A and B are shown apart, each in its own frame.
Chain A
Amino acid sequence: MRNLLLIAKREYLEQVRGKAFRLSTILIPVLFVVIMGVVVLAGKNTAVGKHIAIASEDPQLAARVQKGVLDQKELKATVDIYAPAQPSMRDTLLKGLQDKSIDGFLWVEQAADGKITATYTSESSGDIVISNVLTTSLNDALINDRLRANGVTQSQIDAALKKVEVQTMQVDKEGKIVKSNGVVSYLKGYIMALLLSMTTMIYGMNVARSIIQEKTSRIFEVMLSTARSGDLLAGKLIGVGAVGMTQIGIWAAAAAALAGTALAAPLMSGEYAVHFTWKEGILFPIYFILGYLLYSALFSGLAATCETEQELQMYTPLAAVPIWLSFSLIFLVINDPNSIWSIAASLFPATAPIIMMLRMGSQMPPDWQFVASIAIMIFTIWGVLWFSTKLYRVGILMYGKRATLPELLKWIRYS
């Protein structure tokens, strides 16, 4: 036990005193804020500077569609009207599209039987936001026209078409109804999941890299004449894990200190206020530790079989799989945090930490699910550690070449 703690302490001090720790402690949150800022900013400025043309035989209809588009808060485009449109204008607009004087045009025409068709032509195929806005605006304008044709007054029409926004409310555990905000829930879950996956990956790989470096520097032979291989591995996992906890602790302390300042005021109040509960504050480090242990247990075994960091990089895609899997489930989990898929993914050990963070963002899962997912993770970590320790024990003394699969199986039998 004494040796284990000495090894953990050495590992911890070496990493905490290193440049990489200081740099990542500052750079990760800065990068994080920059990326989130860019995403929010980009979302607010959809279609800024876009130039759209609306062509219709009916100038009034075209004008109403134009008004509808310009009234949309999230769309900041320039809209021209070509009305009454002649068939020859279509070629002019297509030419305009080619020489990039316009970004897209809406062509509305009425057939002899009165049926109206509309097409939006643009250079990019995925112009989803614009085509949605155009559809809504055109339909509103058409309803407007039809009602007017039936003798309804404009003020009656305006009153009838007035949009009602659905407010989202949430019932909390105590049965109180509180205002909820889907965007905030999503953001909160996303932030926690992103932070967790980043730190887990960074520190999991850190353990692996440190094992390879020790193998390359041939330190194991000296260490093994003093300490057991199990103590070496456990000491390393504890030491590096403590480094991760220190970093998260520094971020949390910095966030808490910033929360009271004017800088954080827009985040702490208003429509997009993000608040974290004490339960989230406890569960985040628990899932970090579990996620980190699972990763590092797996990678310490693999690292012991490698000769160089380049060889280890071959396994990196494997490390990314649980993260890809977790983030590809993000919409499913946020939309329906209690679906059978969401629950299954939050119990599956490889995806549990990230999915639980996402679920906690929108709705706190029942306690039994936390207990079950933590228990399953602990059990899995134990199993992976069992294998990894065996690979580690033999692998750290094997130099010269990377072990093949049959050799690895032999190593497991040896020890």
Chain B
Amino acid sequence: MPVVELAGVTKAYDSKLAVDNLSLTIEAGQMFGLLGPNGAGKTSTIRMMIGITIPDSGQVRLFDKPFERAILSRVGYLPEERGLYKKMKVIDQLVFFGELRGLTPEESKRRGLNWAEKLEIADVLQKKTEELSKGMQQKIQFICTLLHDPGLIIMDEPFSGLDPVNATLLQDVLIDLKNQGKVILFSTHRMDQVEKLCDSICLINNGKAVLAGKVREIKSRYERNQIVMEFEGNADFLKSSEIAEAKNYSGHAEIKLKPHGDAQKVLHEAASMAKVFRFELVEPSIEEIFIETVGGKVDA
């Protein structure tokens, strides 16, 4: 069952088309990446998805039904611009957001405490939000998003501003949630960050979808024409006629082959001149595929 379906959604502000005839489908149990550079139309798309703004044309369906506000009780949204009531105590804040989502105060409190323990912030619950670090506040916002156990979790730039330890902690929580059957939608311009997490993606630029589908399928469409290698000795093999571009960082080389270039030939030449420790034919990253698709013309 598709959990999110956008059909030909368009939104214009003044004369600028923020989202241009965008269609996408997110199936149940998926981690989905809505990717694109800054200003591509990601936030505008999400706002229409959850009824903050209304599309000029096109249709939004959530949980296989046309959008209606009542369905928002099954959606959790973490916006890019984090917002909490600064003067409120953390626990009061959690209870307030829980109640807004239809929970009783007692249930909100119970779930808030559970989550706080899981995310290692149980000791700050009695503090005012403004007294906490940015990372802590982000964790609280994260809990506010998940408190009502939503089936669809939308996260706009979820890892921005987090240190690697906390980013990993949140990643693990999200993987857990996915394993429980929740749908998670990431929106980010840091494509490398979510590439390994997402099952499917939609790449957008200037409000239009430029690439969509399962990550594996998209990548398999693109040739493995890049080599990462580590070696010691003569580097003259990097001038091979098979190679389009090569960067050598004192024994660590990143090589791009010419179209239909022969990797085996490069390996052979390298082995004849130098001692090879590592030779890996890598697939292009989503970011590289994106840049190749839009022809390097990214409005960032």
Chain B, residues 84-127, CB within 8 Å of chain A (1/0): the string is 11111000000011011100000000000000000000000000
Docked-complex contact B79 and A227, CB < 8 angstroms: no
A224 and B97 CA atoms in complex are apart in Å by 12
A218 and B69 CA atoms in complex are apart in Å by 21
Interface of A is mostly: helix
A217 and B141 CA atoms in complex are apart in Å by 13
Docked-complex contact A18 and B69, CB < 8 angstroms: no
Given A10-B96, A18-B87, CB of A221 within 8 Å of CB of B75: no
B84, B85, B88, B101 interface centre (most CB from chain A within 10 Å): B85
Docked-complex contact B96 and A6, CB < 8 angstroms: yes
Residues of B within 8 A of A214 (CB): 83
- Selected contact of A217 from candidates B53, B69, B83, B99, CB within 8 Å: B83
Docked-complex contact B75 and A410, CB < 8 angstroms: no
How far apart are A326's CB and chain B's nearest CB, in angstroms?
34
Residue in A closest to B148 when the chains form the complex, CB atoms: A226
Docked-complex contact B96 and A225, CB < 8 angstroms: no
Q: Does B144 contact A (CB under 8 A)?
A: yes
* A:395-415 near B, CB below 8 Å: 397, 399, 410
B72, B81, B84, B144 interface centre (most CB from chain A within 10 Å): B81
Residue in A closest to B145 when the chains form the complex, CB atoms: A222
* A:3-31 near B, CB below 8 Å: 3, 6-7, 10, 14, 18
How far apart are A340's CB and chain B's nearest CB, in angstroms?
49
Residue in A closest to B43 when the chains form the complex, CB atoms: A221
- Selected contact of A221 from candidates B14, B79, B86, B101, CB within 8 Å: B79
Residues of A within 8 A of B88 (CB): 10, 14
Chain A, residues 381-400, CB within 8 Å of chain B (1/0): the string is 00000000000000001010
Q: Does B82 contact A (CB under 8 A)?
A: yes
Residue in A closest to B144 when the chains form the complex, CB atoms: A222
Docked-complex contact B83 and A222, CB < 8 angstroms: yes
Q: Does A371 contact B (CB under 8 A)?
A: no
A3 and B96 CA atoms in complex are apart in Å by 10
Docked-complex contact A217 and B85, CB < 8 angstroms: yes
A224 and B81 CA atoms in complex are apart in Å by 13
Residues of A within 8 A of B53 (CB): 397
Docked-complex contact A3 and B52, CB < 8 angstroms: no
How far apart are B133's CB and chain A's nearest CB, in angstroms?
16
A228 and B50 CA atoms in complex are apart in Å by 12
A236 and B52 CA atoms in complex are apart in Å by 19
Docked-complex contact A14 and B79, CB < 8 angstroms: no
Residue in A closest to B73 when the chains form the complex, CB atoms: A226
Docked-complex contact B75 and A225, CB < 8 angstroms: yes
Docked-complex contact A219 and B75, CB < 8 angstroms: no
Docked-complex contact A227 and B83, CB < 8 angstroms: no
* A:216-238 near B, CB below 8 Å: 217-228
Docked-complex contact A226 and B100, CB < 8 angstroms: yes
How far apart are A26's CB and chain B's nearest CB, in angstroms?
21
How far apart are B18's CB and chain A's nearest CB, in angstroms?
12
Residues of A within 8 A of B141 (CB): 222
Docked-complex contact A222 and B79, CB < 8 angstroms: yes
Given A10-B96, A221-B52, A397-B52, CB of A226 within 8 Å of CB of B83: no
- Selected contact of A6 from candidates B51, B79, B100, CB within 8 Å: B100
Residue in B closest to A5 when the chains form the complex, CB atoms: B99
Total contacts A to B, CB within 8 angstroms? 57
Residues of A within 8 A of B81 (CB): 218, 221, 399
Residue in B closest to A217 when the chains form the complex, CB atoms: B83
Docked-complex contact A220 and B101, CB < 8 angstroms: no
- Selected contact of B14 from candidates A397, A399, A410, CB within 8 Å: A410
Q: Does B77 contact A (CB under 8 A)?
A: yes
A221 and B50 CA atoms in complex are apart in Å by 11
How far apart are B156's CB and chain A's nearest CB, in angstroms?
9
Docked-complex contact B72 and A225, CB < 8 angstroms: yes
A218 and B85 CA atoms in complex are apart in Å by 10
Given A221-B52, A222-B77, A222-B144, CB of A227 within 8 Å of CB of B100: yes
Residues of A within 8 A of B85 (CB): 10, 14, 217, 219
A73 and B96 CA atoms in complex are apart in Å by 64
* A:66-125 near B, CB below 8 Å: none
Residues of B within 8 A of A397 (CB): 47, 52-53
Docked-complex contact B79 and A218, CB < 8 angstroms: yes
Residues of A within 8 A of B144 (CB): 222
Residues of A within 8 A of B82 (CB): 218
Residue in B closest to A219 when the chains form the complex, CB atoms: B83
A3, A219, A222, A397 interface centre (most CB from chain B within 10 Å): A222
A358 and B101 CA atoms in complex are apart in Å by 47
Docked-complex contact A217 and B79, CB < 8 angstroms: no
Given A222-B77, A225-B52, A225-B75, CB of A6 within 8 Å of CB of B83: no
How far apart are B122's CB and chain A's nearest CB, in angstroms?
22
Residue in A closest to B85 when the chains form the complex, CB atoms: A219
Residues of B within 8 A of A3 (CB): 100
Docked-complex contact A217 and B50, CB < 8 angstroms: no
Docked-complex contact B100 and A221, CB < 8 angstroms: no
* B:25-55 near A, CB below 8 Å: 47, 50-53
Docked-complex contact B72 and A226, CB < 8 angstroms: yes
Closest 3 CB pairs of A and B: A219-B83, A218-B81, A218-B83
Given contact pairs A14-B88, A18-B87, A221-B79, enumerate 11 new A-B contacts (beta carbons under 8 Å). Answer: A10-B85, A14-B85, A217-B86, A219-B83, A219-B84, A221-B52, A221-B83, A222-B144, A223-B100, A226-B97, A399-B81
Which residues on A are within 8 Å of B, measured CB to CB?
3, 6-7, 10, 14, 18, 214, 217-228, 397, 399, 410
Return 10 A-B CB contacts under 8 Å, by A number: A6-B100, A7-B100, A14-B87, A214-B83, A218-B83, A221-B52, A222-B79, A222-B83, A222-B141, A227-B100
